[in-house]
Amino acid sequence: MRDQIGLDTYMDTSRLGRGETIAAASAVALFLIMFIFDWFGFDVPAGAFSDLGGANAFQSFGFIDLVLMLTVIVAIAGAALAANASSVNTPVAISSITAGLGILSVILILFRIISPPDFGVGDFGLGDIEVSRKIGVFLGLIAAGGIAYGGWVAMQEEGTSFGDQADRFGGTGSPPPPAA
């Protein structure tokens, strides 16, 4: 049935490498984690009722969530291009972009684990407000690490490195070999 409508012609998951599979699966997980789980909570000590609630990634961040979404899009697009046996003329390999964005996402999430956002709740005169880390931020860190690792494995499978990609982007790399 799939072959009759042409899906096997376009999406062949057997073309995916291990790294692309890891990065894409981690990207889907990160996307879901960004919506479903609370990343941070805020508590106001007020007797028996102290929990005001939590915030997911989109409610917690102003810029970091955009970087995380870009990371998700690039990881899934890289896997889709590999499954379609398509290539895009980019200055650097998609796998290195995926790995780089994954590393950047890990660093940004770690930064927010160390220094949680304040949500501006102190402006409302609510007293001593404590921002707590919820399970979502840690799951997001693991998923972002999975994207970085998957991008790195895909780079290894392609036989490239960040140094090679920097040379390629800067134009200092050796020219491609002539066509046979």
Q: Is residue 174 part of a domain?
A: no
> What pTM was estimated for this model as a whole?
0.78
Q: Is residue 169 part of a domain?
A: no
The vertex-12 CA angle with 9 and 13, nearest 5°, equals: 170
Q: Is residue 139 part of a domain?
A: yes
Q: What is the pLDDT of residues 77-136, one digit of tens each?
A: 988 888 887 666 777 788 899 999 999 999 999 999 998 887 655 545 555 577 888 999
Residue 131: its H or E element: strand 130-133
Q: Is residue 170 part of a domain?
A: no
Q: Is residue 51 part of a domain?
A: yes
Domain count, the chain: 1
Residue 53: its H or E element: strand 51-55
Residue 90: CB partners within 8 Å, gap ≥ 6?
Answer: 97
Distance CA 57, CA 142 (A): 14
Q: Is residue 33 part of a domain?
A: yes
Domain range for residue 112? 18-158
Distance CA 78, CA 80 (A): 5
**CATH code, domain carrying 45:** 1.20.140
Q: Is residue 129 part of a domain?
A: yes
